[in-house]
Amino acid sequence: MPQTNSKANKLSAITGILWLLPIVCMFGILIYQPHRDTKTSITTDSTKTTEVTSTKNKPQYKSNKEEKVDIKLSQFDPNTVDYKQLRALGLTKAQSTSVIKYRKTGKVFRIKEDLATCYGLTDSIYFILEPYIKIGNKYKIQKYVNESYENKKTHSTPYSTTKIVEKRDSLFIFDPNTVTKSEFMLLGFSARQTETFLKYREMVGHFDRVEKFLKCYSVADRAEELKPYIAIQPIPKLELNGADSTELCRINGIGAISAKAIIDYRKKLGGFVKIEQLCEIKQITERNYEKIYEKIYVDSVVITKIDVNFAPAERLTMSLLAHPYAGRLVVRRLIKNRQLKGGWRNIGELVEQDIVTSSQAEKLAPYLHFRVPTKIN
């Protein structure tokens, strides 16, 4: 009898479990279904994003956070392309704005590589866009060529500004003294070689000979190739009495120290009357003078002269004491005799009265002005 009851209880428990099992399964399906739908939705969105960013021939720099933009690569000029077109090329908002800001600062895209300098545009982005970049003729780097021999005869400038087609791929006529960084790279030099050349040019100053330019480490290996395209334009001679220290330092043979010495001596003299006076400056060596001589000239009309007869005694004294060709003895004699004589007609009278020597008179004559008094004793 007990065994019968035990079997009945077991049967009843199994029956209860079988009744509950469908109910549990239904609750499980209801709980799982929202998660499944959410996962499917995320997967679907992810798939769409992947399709946008991995489509063949499309740029690989889309941002999932930005709204969808139909990407269509086509030719464009970075100098004229607008914001919408940049976005259509696949650039982000920040990258598109960076290109616009680059132009707003007054900069111009002269070569394709200039686009890579914009903030946010990586090399990978540039390499995708490079085949589609087309710089307009208005913005391209200008190149120049020598005039013919006949034209040189009739023009004051040695070279014309006639535009030419490039020769030998990227080679063109250029002046190493004025060629820009972009133009130098257009000749086929790397960024490092270009920086080396620019530092060399800053160090040596003006290239007055082709050989001097070809000594630069960056261009030495291409000397024979570049030689036919080098056109050094002669710089105008510098007027010695009006030049400042910066202009003087541009001349090969004059450094910062010698430029200061030239200006100081010019002030004491009242101006140079001839180039040879530079030899009187100890900072100017004979070797430097040979380099300088052909690059300068002197306008003696602008020199300051001393009024011997009418300048106040104090001013006359100070002017002559500072002058390299006078000195205390000359000043003392001049002041004393002017009080007695009343003045002089010319430098010869100063020599006759032993106020100056013949050699002093020859040097001082250009710097003295003799206004003849009404009466001279």
For residue 241, pLDDT over 90 is answered with: yes
CA distances, 311 to each of 100, 270, 317, 337, 362 (Å): 66, 16, 9, 14, 21
User: Is 7 a residue whose pLDDT tops 70?
Assistant: no
131, part of any domain: yes
Report how far residue 69's alpha carbon sits from residue 50's, in angstroms, rounded to the nearest whole number: 14
Q: Looking at the domain assignment, is residue 293 inside a domain?
A: yes
The answer on 320 and 294 residing in a single domain is no
Last residue of a domain, one of 90, 112, 138: 138
Residue 53 domain flag: no
Confidence of residue 318 (pLDDT cuts 50, 70, 90): very high
Taking alpha carbons only, the member of 306, 276, 320 closest to residue 369 is 306
Between 211 and 165, name the one with better pLDDT: 211
DSSP secondary structure code for residue 215 in this structure:
T
Q: pLDDT at residue 339 above 50?
A: yes
Clarify whether residues 256 and 321 are in a common domain: no
pLDDT digits (tens, 9 = 90+) for 115-151: 888 888 888 888 889 899 988 877 876 543 333 333 4
Nearest in space to 110 (alpha carbons), one of 82, 133, 86: 133
Residues 155/157/161/164 CA torsion (nearest 10 deg): 80
Cα-Cα-Cα-Cα torsion 114, 117, 119, 124, nearest 10 degrees, comes to 90
- pLDDT for residue 324: 93
Beta bridge partners of 163: 144
Distance CA 341, CA 343 (A): 6
pLDDT of residue 169: 46
State pTM to two decimals. 0.45
User: Rounded to the nearest 5 degrees, what angle is found at the Cα of 86, between the Cα atoms of 83 and 92?
Assistant: 95
- Return the minimum-mean-pLDDT range out of 59-73, 170-184, 255-269, 289-303: 59-73
Q: What residues make up the domain containing 290?
A: 238-302
Same domain, 209 and 246: no
The residue out of 282, 302, 322 marking a domain boundary is 302
Residues 199 and 253 both lie in one domain: no
Instruction: Answer yes or no: do 148 and 133 share one domain.
Output: no
Number of domains comprising the chain = 4
Examine the fold and report which residue of 118, 138, 158 is the final residue of a domain before the chain moves on.
Answer: 138
**For residue 61, is it within any domain?**
no
**Does one domain contain both 151 and 218?**
yes
pLDDT of residue 249: 87
Q: Looking at the structure, do residues 214 and 148 belong to the same domain, yes or no?
A: yes
297 and 323 share one domain: no
Tokens of residue 340, six digits: 């007695």
Q: What pLDDT sits at residue 33?
A: 52
The verdict on residue 122 lying in a domain is yes
Q: Are residues 177 and 130 in the same domain?
A: no
Whether 74 and 126 share a structural domain: yes
pLDDT digits (tens, 9 = 90+) for 19-67: 666 666 666 665 555 444 444 333 334 333 333 344 444 455 544 455 6
Q: Classify residue 327: in a domain, yes or no.
A: yes
Per-residue pLDDT of 64-89, as tens digits, reads 455 666 788 889 999 999 998 889 98
Which of the residue ranges 23-27, 53-57, 199-203, 249-253 would you say has the lowest mean pLDDT?
53-57
Same-domain pairing of 92 and 104: yes
Q: Give the chain's mean pLDDT.
A: 78
Domain co-membership, 248 together with 276: yes
Task: Please name the residues in contact with 213: beta carbons below 8 A apart, sequence gap of 6 or more.
Answer: 176, 207, 219, 230, 232
97 within some domain:
yes
Kindly state whether residue 20 falls inside one of the protein's structural domains. Answer: no
